[in-house]
Amino acid sequence: MRKFIPIVLIIAATVLFVYYTSQEIYSLKKISIVPGNSYLENVKITHAAESVVKWTAAIEKISIIKTGETAELTNIQFNVPEKEVTMKAGKGTFDIKNNAIDLLGEVTAYNKEFQVKSKDIKWDFKAETLKSVNEVLLTGKNVMVRADSIETFGGEKLQLSGHVTVVYR
């Protein structure tokens, strides 16, 4: 009889292990990202091409909106290492379908030489355009430029529109 007790214990332990493991696997199948109920925190994204980092993003919180086509972003920071540019915004929305982001509230972009401030900037990743119809302030070491709006094209050209004031120091 004593010889059978270890065998019975091993069989019982195996049955319990299989039962609990199968329950755990079953419960994992129920896990999904549900728009309106799910969010990601402290997200870091790196985009590289040909082993070269093109841009990085650090986002404190991403909440997927109920439609599943838009995400709300909180405390956003983009870096473009090749151009040594950093852009920060407190809030934004990302249009997943159209690959565009609206940076809401005050937005600051800077590098070693300049700082640009504006509000509510639309950034279209497909078209490589950045646009704000709100006042923009560009400051540098020896210059300050104020304009009614700003738009970039392909990341290289910059257009200031409306009433533009340039002050050299």
Q: What is the CATH number of the domain that holds 67?
A: 2.60.450.10
Q: Which domain, by its residues, includes 10?
A: 1-31
Q: Are residues 145 and 65 in the same domain?
A: yes
Burial of 88 (0-12, 13-18, 19+ CB in 10 A): middle
- Judge if 44 and 19 occupy the same domain: no
Tokens, residue 56: 């990085």
Tell me the C-alpha distance between 113 and 143, whole Å. 10
Q: Average pLDDT by consecutive 10-residue portion of the chain (169 residues)?
A: 52 57 52 68 89 90 80 91 89 86 90 90 82 90 92 79 90
Q: Is the dihedral of CA 27, 30, 34, 37 positive or negative?
A: negative
Q: What is the pLDDT of residue 144?
A: 93
- Same domain (yes/no): 96, 127: yes
Spell 147-166 as b/e; 16+ CB within 10 A means b.
bebbbbeeeeeeebeeeeee
pTM beyond 0.95: no
6 with 75, same domain: the answer is no
> What are the tens digits of pLDDT across the range 89-111?
999 988 888 888 899 999 998 88
Three-class secondary structure of residue 59 per DSSP: strand
